[in-house]
Structure 1
Amino acid sequence: MEEKMIVLVAFDGSKAANEALSLAVKHAEAFKGKVVLVRSLKGGADIDSEDIQTAEQDLAYAEQFCRERSVPFETHLLVRGCSPGEDIVRFAEECRADEIIMGVRRRSRVSKMVFGSNARHVILEAHCPVVTVK
């Protein structure tokens, strides 16, 4: 049996994430693959139930988007205590993703230096190709 291409989408509900989802669905359709939708929350004792609820709503939207296009998908809400960038890289390895697609937001250079960038971490550390969209 032929294995399907796995397209992992880091989905946070933003406009850029919606663009990433749209591209991921196109790739999954073209390569007869499946979309793996991932939302990562840092977690810990201070996690807010509203953050979890928002993440679940975002994933439900992404699920519906895939379902309407008849694209195979699965969803994962990750609360594993690491940064979203680290979590996405780790999960991509665990699920043997062939590609990661994620949205990026424009930030100033100073903001990137001070706060870091999850996208930058994923791009530099992922075992597979990473596609970013704005």
Structure 2
Amino acid sequence: MSSVVVGYVPKPEGEAALARAIEEARLREADLIVVSSHRARTGEGEPDLGEARATLDSSGIAYEVRQLTRGFEAAEDLVSVAEANDAVLIVIGLRRRTPVGKLILGSNAQRVLLDAHCPVLAVKA
């Protein structure tokens, strides 16, 4: 079965990406893999994904949540999960950027767009 991979953070851009990824998984009759990746920092725990799990449960699609706390960048985790699962699409959320920030798009978003083996859908919050 094919899969759609979505990068999720508990912020408006993550919520927008998750909503669109659910739609894409339905359209493609694919499973959904939700990747929540962050670097381990002293005093920080894993992000709470309770709301995301509730949204996923009510969607009725098959899904898997992977919370990755490693030394890798989020882009590396997202691309490697997509490759390992032969994903047909990666969905990422974008946040508003300052005029200067628009020149560089965002390092993680840019790396996913450049390194992914499959199409990438970027959505705004």
TM-score for both structures, normalised by structure 1: 0.82
**CA–CA distance in 1 between the matches of 2:52 and 2:95?**
19
Aligned residues: 124
The answer for the alignment partner of 1:25 in structure 2 is: 22
How far apart are residue 109 of structure 1 and its match? 4.7
Q: Does 1:49 align with 2:41?
A: no
Q: Structure 1 47/31 Cα, relative in aligned 2: closer, same or farther at 3 Å?
A: same
**CA–CA distance in 2 between the matches of 1:47 and 1:77?**
17
Query: Which runs of no fewer than 5 residues in structure 1 stay unpaired?
Result: none
How far apart are residue 123 of structure 1 and its match? 0.5
**CA–CA distance in 1 between the matches of 2:122 and 2:104?**
21
- Offset from partner CA, 1:68-125 (integer Å, 9 cap, x none): 1211100001122111112211221122211100100121253467895211110011
Calculate the aligned-residue CA RMSD, in Å. 2.0
Secondary structure of residue in 2 paired with 1:127: coil
Task: State whether residues 37 and 62 of structure 1, in contact with CA within 8 Å, keep that contact through their aligned partners in structure 2.
Answer: no
Match 1:73 to one of 63, 81, 90: 63
Secondary structure of residue in 2 paired with 1:75: strand
Query: Which runs of no fewer than 5 residues in structure 2 stay unpaired?
Result: none
Query: Which one has a larger percent strand, Structure 1 or Structure 2?
Result: 2
TM-score for both structures, normalised by structure 2: 0.87
Task: State whether residues 97 and 105 of structure 2, in contact with CA within 8 Å, keep that contact through their aligned partners in structure 1.
Answer: no
Match 2:110 to one of 105, 114, 120: 120
Q: Structure 1 18/115 Cα, relative in aligned 2: closer, same or farther at 3 Å?
A: closer
Task: State whether residues 99 and 130 of structure 1, in contact with CA within 8 Å, keep that contact through their aligned partners in structure 2.
Answer: yes
Q: Structure 1 9/47 Cα, relative in aligned 2: closer, same or farther at 3 Å?
A: farther
Match 2:6 to one of 4, 9, 12: 9
**CA–CA distance in 1 between the matches of 2:38 and 2:112?**
15
**CA–CA distance in 1 between the matches of 2:98 and 2:28?**
36
**CA–CA distance in 1 between the matches of 2:20 and 2:106?**
25
Identity %: 31
